[in-house]
Structure 1
């Protein structure tokens, strides 16, 4: 199972965001501030619970996600993301330094730190509508496409404007006979604009490997940051960098969601312990992304956790250690000569007084 978090502010008309693409009217703007996706895989079926945080002036938008097989769609549980962030959060440790710095006295401060209802597909059609649901604020269409141009035409007829660059980027998925989930996003308040965190959606589809679609991120106009949180029997790693910088592990460890407890995570894993691996990756040039992320078991299950250090001035009894050291040195400089003088006096040999001459008695 895998969880991804991708942040970025993207430019109209197409918005690449992790495992999907955002499309709006050419006169509108929308920014995807955060995309959080929880993905689970049991060897046969993959599930993705995704949640978008958006802002802009668009009255509506379309979000398109490619999937390798026919998908079912339902509303997801937002609590899952809070639990996963808590599990993989860095720990803070205090690290002391001896000499004062700019914020410490005497230079600065005090030194304290701080279910489906659609009709069946049309045989032989280049684009098949295999499902359409109304889920909360979402209008969800599930498509099967064999021709990228036909996919573009269907989306246009249904209010989704598909830019040429995005149609080209979807071509590899069409060639692999993948399908798509197209979601119409609309603000909850009538007449409003898209803004805030949207309700999560849960997708399920058959898959023979753990894969996270990333090709559409190559359309992004700005560098992309991706965090992958993988839940499996063992520590996991990406097969390759797919055009980004080498992935880095930010967390690795076994978690028992039933003991903590993490109820939303337990519902996903069936109350079974899982190995959590958090992987960070940066894409300075998104146009170089050349594939989807495929994850595999690492060579070992070594645990790891990111540590954030809080630097603090070393003190003894509430006093800066450096100051006490200097005071102690000053006292020593004064006391040492006096001690040496006293010691020298004690060791100096005592000269006996000369004998007193006593004359003999007169006879």
Structure 2
């Protein structure tokens, strides 16, 4: 085998080994919280959608995950600033929010034909087209455990990140070594945790598909969305967040990602539309909905949690998607009619000028007839 062939084969084997390694690597983070699986399994979060509500005293987070992989189960760990209650959420909430914040389409016309228009291509228009008993005086305190549909939910209070890691491992949550250090800031602030065991509905299956949403509620004097654990992610992260509050909200900073972008901002009255799932979250009270998107190309740069604040004004905003269409008059392309009209004008104008000139030419009287004088 020649030198170049041997080098090519070595490179191919190295790429294959790297790809295989990436397929079996555990997922350490997913948006707000940490997703953990066994080291010989793999789970990826295809989409994560969250709605965050805040009335100035109580915060609630409704989260829905869409996952795929070969893991028989996984653990999702969510830090919260105060003791949380957990219940199943309503998936219809995200359908309603998607309908509320959907971009509006406006048509704008262009005059000259483009690649897909006749005579270059086809005819027509081009369009542009996320129960156990409490234990007191322990490094990890189990403040509640319950079964919610397919979820086994444990609510924990921890004063020692290593003890938290030990408790989770004893209960089947196998954590990577880096996660204990990443949890330290939350432990220092005396935050608590919601640990959820994710499992497929069919026994013996793998974890895949869209999971039922979970709804967390806890006391909070500020609106915060935990993101710190996402710095453990090995791949770029995207955040899609619906914020439900009295006013339009914005993140205080980018926390290591690209600047957040607002895709929708507007006041919604769920009782008038009606939006039943949204009304269940807001108590049927009007709410200002702010939808933001953010991309984290290098998750390791994430340096904190998202703190959200009210903007100076409740300025509404809606994304507009333009649909480009060829300008037509009476079903005919305007440019064709314009050219035809121009051609007719070129032909008709000289004729018109000739006719006009003839009509304006003065009619001269006939010359007088010369009559010779009579002979004498």
Q: Give the TM-score of the pair, scaled to structure 1.
A: 0.93
CA offset digits 1:161-216 (Å, max 9, x no partner):
11012222111111111111111111000110011111111112121111000001
2:212 matched residue in structure 1: 199
Q: Residues 68-217 of structure 1 correspond to what in structure 2 (within 5 A)?
A: 68-113=81-126, 117-123=131-137, 125-217=138-230
2:63 matched residue in structure 1: 50
Identify the match of residue 24 of structure 1 among 37, 40, 54: 37
| Rounded Cα–Cα distance in structure 2 between residues aligned with 1:279 and 1:337 | 63
Identify the match of residue 369 of structure 2 among 348, 356, 361: 356
| Rounded Cα–Cα distance in structure 1 between residues aligned with 2:86 and 2:281 | 16
1:228 matched residue in structure 2: 241
> Secondary structure, in 3 states, of the residue corresponding to 2:229?
helix
> Secondary structure, in 3 states, of the residue corresponding to 1:48?
strand
Alignment length, in residue pairs? 352
Identify the match of residue 271 of structure 1 among 284, 288, 294: 284
Q: CA deviation at 1:360?
A: 4.3
Identify the match of residue 36 of structure 1 among 26, 49, 53: 49
2:274 matched residue in structure 1: 261
Q: Which has the higher helix share?
A: 2
Q: Which has the higher strand share?
A: 1
1:291 matched residue in structure 2: 304
Contact 1:61 1:185 in 2 (8 A): yes
The runs of 4+ residues in structure 1 deviating greater than 6 Å are: none
| Rounded Cα–Cα distance in structure 2 between residues aligned with 1:142 and 1:269 | 24
CA offset digits 1:75-119 (Å, max 9, x no partner):
1111111111111110111110000000000000112345xx431
> Secondary structure, in 3 states, of the residue corresponding to 2:255?
coil
Q: CA deviation at 1:11?
A: 7.6
Which deviates the most, 128-137 or 343-352? 343-352
Q: CA deviation at 1:331?
A: 0.4
Q: CA deviation at 1:261?
A: 0.6
Contact 2:50 2:242 in 1 (8 A): no
| Rounded Cα–Cα distance in structure 2 between residues aligned with 1:275 and 1:48 | 16
Where structure 1 has 5 or more consecutive residues not aligned to the other structure, the ranges are: 1-8
Contact 1:128 1:144 in 2 (8 A): yes
Q: CA deviation at 1:257?
A: 0.8
- Residue 57 and residue 227 in structure 1: after superposition, are their counterparts in 2 closer, same or farther (change >3 A)? same
| Rounded Cα–Cα distance in structure 2 between residues aligned with 1:254 and 1:11 | 45
| Rounded Cα–Cα distance in structure 2 between residues aligned with 1:67 and 1:11 | 30
Which deviates the most, 11-20 or 77-86? 11-20
Identify the match of residue 352 of structure 2 among 331, 339, 345: 339
Contact 2:29 2:230 in 1 (8 A): yes
Contact 1:15 1:32 in 2 (8 A): no
Where structure 2 has 5 or more consecutive residues not aligned to the other structure, the ranges are: 1-21
Contact 1:40 1:48 in 2 (8 A): yes
| Rounded Cα–Cα distance in structure 1 between residues aligned with 2:314 and 2:194 | 35
| Rounded Cα–Cα distance in structure 2 between residues aligned with 1:270 and 1:111 | 48
Which deviates the most, 98-107 or 165-174? 165-174
